[in-house]
Structure 1
Amino acid sequence: MATLSMTHIRTSNSPSGFSLSCSKKVYERPSRVGFKVFASETQSSSEPDLSVTVNGLHMPNPFVIGSGPPGTNYTVMKRAFDEGWGAVIAKTVSLDAAKVINVTPRYARLRASPNGSAKGEIIGWQNIELISDRPLETMLKEFKQLKDEYPDRILIASIMEEYNKAAWEELIDRVEQTGVDALEINFSCPHGMPERRMGAAVGQDCALLEEVCGWINAKATVPVWAKMTPNITDISEPARVALRSGSEGVAAINTIMSVMGINLNTLRPEPCVEGYSTPGGYSAKAVHPIALGKVMSIAKMMKAEFDSKNYSLSAIGGVETGGDAAEFILLGANTVQVCTGVMMHGYGLVKKLSLELKDFMKKHNFTSIEDFRGASLQYFTTHTDLVKRQQEAIRQRKAIKKGLQSDKDWTGDGFVKESESMVSN
């Protein structure tokens, strides 16, 4: 039996001014009009339903290919759809690919073993890779081809431009003409071209972010996700700015600025290019706890200040198992992105993720993603509150032990004290 799924088409968006200070009022975004309607097969009623609808975008599961090498061309994105990924976010594009020149090697790995060992488990991955070096025209042609072949699957374009309103508007217009379902704005690339006010250079400056988001959201006609950088003191601040400036969602986190290590034999940094290197973006399993913390911070802010029905959170960071994904969803994420995990394990990873997530859901009798999304967020509090809770718990435990629990506990020697222990005044 088929059900109707809706791909949301945004028609207009006029950002309004605001203060960066927190507001107690829940912010509701305007309703959108216009939908594409597709048919999709329903899940068996005996199995947990992994499907999600995010900003009007229907996906068969919450697993999304994160922007990067796994979404770098038509061939690999087609493979992702064929393997069953819920959505694909293409590698970031800009107007002029000629200024993007990558080097190789551009990756370095951290293993759970002594420096230089090639045998330990890979727990960290660093890249010094730039955005797409393929001509925009080529990428646009492939976006259109993918949407023609997979009209009911979600394709999201990741875009990044210099601090230039006309350039952003041109890029958005050209990308949207291919039929992509949404835009993810790269405000978070930690390396590359900060001198041109690109990537994290915008995401780390809330005033600049507000202005650029205003340009983007005034132009875009499809849902917009703003991708956040973790290389900032309080990630909830730029997330708040992006949402209040008209974005439907935020994605977090991008990679963490790092130096992977020094080869103790050659004394050269890694990844090593002609004997030299540069700081890059850190990802994989080792960043997962950091990503959880950042996502939790954003989720708490969104829950307090925004209408969760109209805004979304896409979580990224060290996802290699269904349990990793479940943790992000328990914190409030609508979708979970995977990039480095695909580079390490291949596109078939989505099947393992789906099976493990279903096993988790069966264990707790959850039938849908919404049954447990955000369920763990309530258990985060302040250290001061933890102290109070523990003191109260200790007091209650002592109170429970006060007095006799049974007639058999009475003794002759302590009879008077035992009596007094059960007096209330």
Structure 2
Amino acid sequence: MTVDLSVMYCGIKHDSPFILAPSPTTDHVDRLIQAFEAGWAGAVLKTVAVDSRIVSRVFPMVTSLKREKAFIGLQNIDLVSEHSVDIVEQNVKVLKKKFPHKVVVPSIMAFTKEDWQSLTQRFVKAGADIIECSIWHPHGTEWTLCTKVDEPVGTEQIAGWVKEVAGDVPIVIKLSASDSDIIATAAAVERSGANGVSAINTIKSITGVNLETLIPYPNIAGVSTYGGLSGPALKPIALRCTAEIAQKVNLDIASSGGITTWQDCAEFLLLGASTLQLCTAVLRFGIGIIEELKQGLEGWMMEKGFQNLTDVIGKSLPYLVEHSRLPRGIQVVSQINEEACNACGACYTACHSGGHGAISFFEGLPQVDVNTCIGCGLCHSMCFMKAISLIRPNGKPSSGF
């Protein structure tokens, strides 16, 4: 069986769902050429504003969030493109001439109706396939040169301005999980006539504080500021936003936020995404990660019998219901696989700290009192050895665990 990874997003065919998100990677034409040659279906160029050249950048711009050997996220205080509109416009022309079948998406930001429309018209003329509007910015608001919007009304207005002059070029609005009501804003985008949304932007954050100097990270000559968090930490939030938008609004969705592996990609597609934008994973593993993503997704689709992405997109949405519709009265209990258990005690600690004290130690290994266990799942969630499963009291496995 062959698998077709091509997908339609906002009426534009992509040879796969894998897109480079706006980032330092997409701010240089030579890197974009390398990425397209490596197999990426398209790229959203780093956001540009009318007066990008006046933006004063500071260094260092990034700091990471880690726990032991686990990479959790990346906070950046970078701003818009270091290039003028003229240069970004020329980059679009170069890329479209060299790669007519790749999807090139300028990301624009403006302060006035005139600037939103001027930028749109320039990039439409340059040959852009799609235009993405970056209305939200998690940091550096005094430098971002962006309209201060009152969502969702302001978002609908801006989307309408851009759509008014875009002609046949699709318009996508980038949304933020920091929005007071992302669904209301997505609905406003739909009313505006725009074609899709990108969800989600980085989230305003502080990764930590240096306990020696007392200065939050990153330290910029003795002071710091808020940044935008990206990477694995965002994945659960981005999945939620993707699913909610897909369930409640009829718009194409480009998902971003914490996408690192092909498994992540499959999850976002199953919850309604049509395309997938990656940034932090590319910075960590390089442009060549595209091969692993493609091969992994293709292999999984073949295993599941999916021939194309139409069979995949939104497949898991029917399983998401309101809490009141969840089945009641189904009892499960924990079962410990002694051969897989390393006797770390994490399950015991969790059960006695927040559960019902159903786990005890016998001859050096944890044991479950099935008459006390209520099946809350705390021990299962805390076990890094995957030695605990949740089963029905009759011994049958519980679906999903």
User: Does TM-score exceed 0.5, indicating one fold?
Assistant: yes
Note if 1:50 corresponds to 2:41.
no
The equivalent position to 1:357 in structure 2, one of 297, 301, 318, is 297
Q: Secondary structure at the match of 2:225?
A: coil
Counterparts of 2:146 and 2:191 in 1: how far apart (Å)? Answer: 21
1:125 to 1:96, Cα distance in 2 relative to 1, 3 A: same
Note if 1:183 corresponds to 2:131.
yes
Deviation at 1:194, TM superposition (A): 5.5
The equivalent position to 1:291 in structure 2, one of 225, 238, 242, is 238
The equivalent position to 2:104 in structure 1, one of 155, 172, 185, is 155
Deviation at 1:214, TM superposition (A): 1.4
Query: What's 2:281 paired with?
Result: 341
Q: Secondary structure at the match of 2:106?
A: strand
**Aligned ranges for residues 11-22 of structure 1 at < 5 Å?**
none
Q: Secondary structure at the match of 2:72?
A: strand
**Whose Rg is larger?**
1
Deviations 1:343-362 (A, max 9, x none): 11110111111111112212
Query: What's 1:140 paired with?
Result: 89
**Aligned ranges for residues 313-352 of structure 1 at < 5 Å?**
313-352=253-292
Note if 1:390 corresponds to 2:328.
yes
Query: What's 2:140 paired with?
Result: 192
The one-letter code sitting in structure 2 at the alignment partner of 1:275 is G
Q: TM-score, length-normalised on structure 1?
A: 0.75
Deviation at 1:188, TM superposition (A): 2.1
Q: Secondary structure at the match of 2:172?
A: strand
Deviation at 1:151, TM superposition (A): 1.1
Q: Secondary structure at the match of 1:269?
A: coil
Counterparts of 2:266 and 2:194 in 1: how far apart (Å)? Answer: 25
- Assess if the C-alpha contact under 8 Å between 2:160 and 2:194 holds in 1: no
**Aligned ranges for residues 3-402 of structure 1 at < 5 Å?**
46-113=1-68, 120-162=69-111, 164-193=112-141, 198=146, 201-202=148-149, 205-221=151-167, 222-302=169-249, 306=250, 311-386=251-326, 389-391=327-329
Counterparts of 2:3 and 2:59 in 1: how far apart (Å)? Answer: 43
Q: Secondary structure at the match of 1:177?
A: helix
Q: Secondary structure at the match of 2:48?
A: coil
Counterparts of 2:297 and 2:143 in 1: how far apart (Å)? Answer: 42
Deviations 1:296-351 (A, max 9, x none): 1111112xxx3xxxx31111111110000111000011001101111111101111
- Assess if the C-alpha contact under 8 Å between 2:23 and 2:45 holds in 1: yes
- Assess if the C-alpha contact under 8 Å between 1:156 and 1:182 holds in 2: yes
Deviations 1:160-203 (A, max 9, x none): 101x111111111111111111101102221122587727x43x
Counterparts of 1:383 and 1:315 in 2: how far apart (Å)? Answer: 25
Counterparts of 1:153 and 1:287 in 2: how far apart (Å)? Answer: 27
- Assess if the C-alpha contact under 8 Å between 1:97 and 1:132 holds in 2: yes
Structure number with higher relative contact order (C-alpha < 8 Å, ≥ 6 residues apart): 1
Deviations 1:265-315 (A, max 9, x none): 32211111111111111010111111111111111112xxx3xxxx31111
Q: Secondary structure at the match of 2:115?
A: helix
The one-letter code sitting in structure 2 at the alignment partner of 1:91 is K
- Assess if the C-alpha contact under 8 Å between 1:101 and 1:133 holds in 2: no
**Which runs of structure 1 show a deviation greater than 3 angstroms over 4 or more consecutive aligned residues?**
194-197
Deviation at 1:220, TM superposition (A): 0.9
Counterparts of 1:184 and 1:105 in 2: how far apart (Å)? Answer: 27
Counterparts of 1:346 and 1:289 in 2: how far apart (Å)? Answer: 23
- Assess if the C-alpha contact under 8 Å between 1:214 and 1:246 holds in 2: yes
The one-letter code sitting in structure 2 at the alignment partner of 1:100 is V
Cα RMSD for the two superposed structures: 1.6
Counterparts of 1:263 and 1:156 in 2: how far apart (Å)? Answer: 39
Deviation at 1:87, TM superposition (A): 1.0
The one-letter code sitting in structure 2 at the alignment partner of 1:136 is V
Counterparts of 2:253 and 2:211 in 1: how far apart (Å)? Answer: 41
The one-letter code sitting in structure 2 at the alignment partner of 1:112 is R
Q: TM-score, length-normalised on structure 2?
A: 0.79
